[in-house]
Structure 1
Amino acid sequence: MLMLVNCSGCHTALQLPRGATSIRCAVCHAITRIADPRSAPPSPYLPATSSSYNNGYNNNYYQPHPPPVPATSNHSQKKAVIIGISYRNTKNELNGCINDAKCMKYMLINRFNFTESSILMLTEEETDPYRIPTKHNIRMAMFWLVKGCKSGDSLVFHYSGHGAQQRNYTGDEIDGFDETLCPLDFETQGMIVDNEINSSIVRPLPAGVKLHAIIDACHSGTVLDLPYLCRMDRNGRYSWEDHRPPSGAWKGTSGGEAISFSGCDDNQTSADTAALSKVTSTGAMTYAFIQAIEKGQGATYGSILNAMRSTIRKTSEELVAGGGPVTTLLTMLLTGGSGVGLRQEPQLSCNERFDVYMKPFSL
């Protein structure tokens, strides 16, 4: 039977292995010891017979509706989860995803005033086993990102790695497919489906909280399952496409704002290439996003989306004209008739429609 316990340090829900007597938190690194239930003191959620009992053990087993915990600060905060997966020494290996993660972290700290301690980084280069981008650790990271968020908070979820699709049988998807992210151990533990991503980091957002997702993966156009997708042509004209599920399932927030930039449309693939930086491999979408910010093209969501598409389109034309090093993300298509190009168009989706050329961008 699955057992969850709350971390004794930050209260994040942790999955307790069968028979374990302690567990280390991937977020705050606190070690939570688990008491033998036969000798455990009364739960802190029940009336206590003594206020002086404290043996250092955590008996605060996870409950669906724990009592509210007083906020530690009234100030708004910034938090980010950054994930880069290279799938080293496998047939799925990618070259640029960890570079993407490092570049994104640098940008958040130096351009948007995120602190080092507010960023949870998951890559294969991390020495902490709880920060390796496995399915379980990514799930815990998503839980940490939104836990305790309040009005004024700014959250960022960045993912660079493989993405895929799988058949949907619930009637929630217009095209009949769920979009997925592929953790490091996806071949044994399975993928993370868009429905779960939505329920984990979109639906919990309360009023006044803003989430930005930046997803550099194949088939990622609607991977957050947000209700509206911005359809933009090459001249910058756009309209909002309704992606609310035919089943009527709610995919919005709890009053907050969720906006996603993704590497490509659901039926497209995203490139892992050295063609943009000319120096090292990166995800085309992550590179184009950061370049838009660095070049002063990040005033509005529309200006960023246009700049990203222009950068990738220009690189694609250069590849068609002269060739270049392009590797793939899972099912990369090399297109362009007799030439080779990047067949991807970054996408913008959100929980509520807005004027993309009037709404200021900020993290």
Structure 2
Amino acid sequence: MGDRLKARKSKSSYFPFTRNSTDGACFDHHKFLSSKHTMEKELACIRCKRKFVVPTKIGTYRCCECQGVSKSISGYKQLRENSLGAKFFNQDQLHNASTNATSFSSPLLSTTPTGNKRAVLCGVSYSRRRYRLKGTVNDVVNMNSLLVENFAFPIQSIRVLTEEQKDPNLIPTRRNIVESLKWLVKDCQSGDSLVFYFSGHGMQQLADDKEDEIDGLDETICPVDFIREGMITDNEINSTIVEPLKNGVKLHAIIDACHSGTTLDLMHVYKKDNGNWKWMNNNPPGTEPVTKRTNGGTAICFSACEDSQLAADTAAFGGKEMNGVMTYLLAKIIREHSGITYASLLEKLHEDIAKIQRSKHFSGFLRRIFHRRIDQDPLLSASEKFDVRTRILF
């Protein structure tokens, strides 16, 4: 960790700069196809000509080799016939994405979501600021590819917010993030699979008078304009994307930020206690807040670290490119272990971080490229307990 800024020392106060930034500052930051997609078709990449097999209902696909985006005429026609958001299909954005691996095909801003799978991916770089981050856009690229290639998410149903977007409505401001979260859950129905991903700075602040936090602190995420417009608290995230979840709707959140353990304010956390993995209650003693319940659906969150910890960035995984440690390892593990369970994924995340810590090279080369000691324990939380050892991811 850089010497210029130090993390919060005690729980009675917080220091406003916590996930590692690239200038040395620290900022208080189964290969799967749905049962509905059992029919397959062959699709050739328009750039590298590589052929691959995709579900028939997928209208577009990002090549895992060159990152080019291909459009299937039959798949697109099927989307139109099924009224799954064809009018929100942005041809220009698809063309741009096919020629630029860092471009994204985000849906046109609308009050109506598209399809039964949709996602909001948010990477905040805080460019031109002393607490800037360089790995967040790479994290979003990684997560976008993972959803498309491993979980059959249609590209046009993924909304991407980064500071590189040309559309001002897709810049990760407080207003745009909140509006995108509302879009994510609007008119959700049984069978929907939703994803919220955030890579950026996370902080804590004194909890409001609801006293719904065990440690007395609210967890927050930081939009690009948080200094002026304010942070987004766990209470607001919970009320926006957790409470509205109807029966049969499943939300996955992945938060790669400091102090992110209970960013969704979910009722149960799965963690080690005296060496044993088990579900633990996340409610303050003697209370059962209504705000931590869904409307019948399920919310599950993977967080980069516990509430009291910091999350790390590194260039160790991809040469000069920065990545969030949790995002990189999570995507790598999922790609390498088809049909992985929730428990196995969490345990492998802990194992891989522990291996880095134990490495004889960590005190030298790895210490320099990680910027600081990695002392983060990824956390799984959920709106309801489930059998993490048998349930397959997503």
**1:286 and 1:108 mapped to 2: Cα distance?**
13
Other-structure match for 1:193: 233
**1:234 and 1:163 mapped to 2: Cα distance?**
27
Residues 1:28 and 2:60 aligned together: no
| Cα distance change, pair 131–302 in 1 and its aligned pair in 2 (3 A) | same
Equivalent pair of 2:107/2:158 in contact (CA under 8 Å):
no
**2:228 and 2:297 mapped to 1: Cα distance?**
35
Per chain length, whose mean CA-contact separation is higher, i.e. which structure has more relative contact order (CA < 8 Å, sep 6+)? 2
- Corresponding residue SS for 1:281: strand
- Corresponding residue SS for 1:314: helix
**1:91 and 1:321 mapped to 2: Cα distance?**
26
The one of 313, 324, 343 equivalent to 2:375 is: 343
The one-letter amino acid of 2:311's match is S
The one of 204, 207, 223 equivalent to 2:244 is: 204
Gaps of 5+ in 2: 1-86, 89-105
Question: Within 5 Å, which residues of 2 pair with 1:18-167?
Answer: 28-29=108-109, 77-167=116-206
CA shift, 1:285, in A, is 0.6
Other-structure match for 2:280: 241
| TM-score w.r.t. length of structure 1 | 0.74
CA shift, 1:27, in A, is 5.6
The one-letter amino acid of 2:312's match is A
The one-letter amino acid of 2:237's match is I
**1:81 and 1:234 mapped to 2: Cα distance?**
36
CA shift, 1:278, in A, is 4.2
**1:296 and 1:234 mapped to 2: Cα distance?**
28
CA shift, 1:326, in A, is 4.1
- Corresponding residue SS for 2:224: coil
Equivalent pair of 1:297/1:303 in contact (CA under 8 Å):
no
CA shift, 1:29, in A, is 4.4
Other-structure match for 1:357: 389
- Corresponding residue SS for 1:323: helix
**2:208 and 2:126 mapped to 1: Cα distance?**
29
Other-structure match for 2:310: 269
Greater Rg over alpha carbons, structure:
1
Percent of pairs with identical residues? 45
Higher helix share: 2
**2:328 and 2:113 mapped to 1: Cα distance?**
36
Gaps of 5+ in 1: 1-8, 11-25, 33-70, 329-333, 335-340
CA shift, 1:241, in A, is 1.3
Equivalent pair of 2:113/2:157 in contact (CA under 8 Å):
no
Residues 1:312 and 2:353 aligned together: yes
Equivalent pair of 2:107/2:157 in contact (CA under 8 Å):
no
The number of equivalent residue pairs is: 286
| TM-score w.r.t. length of structure 2 | 0.68
Other-structure match for 1:58: none
* Deviation sequence 1:169-198 (CA, Å, 0-9, x none): 321101000000000001111100000000
**2:220 and 2:369 mapped to 1: Cα distance?**
23
**2:157 and 2:313 mapped to 1: Cα distance?**
27
How large is the Cα RMSD of the aligned pairs? 2.3
Residues 1:180 and 2:220 aligned together: yes
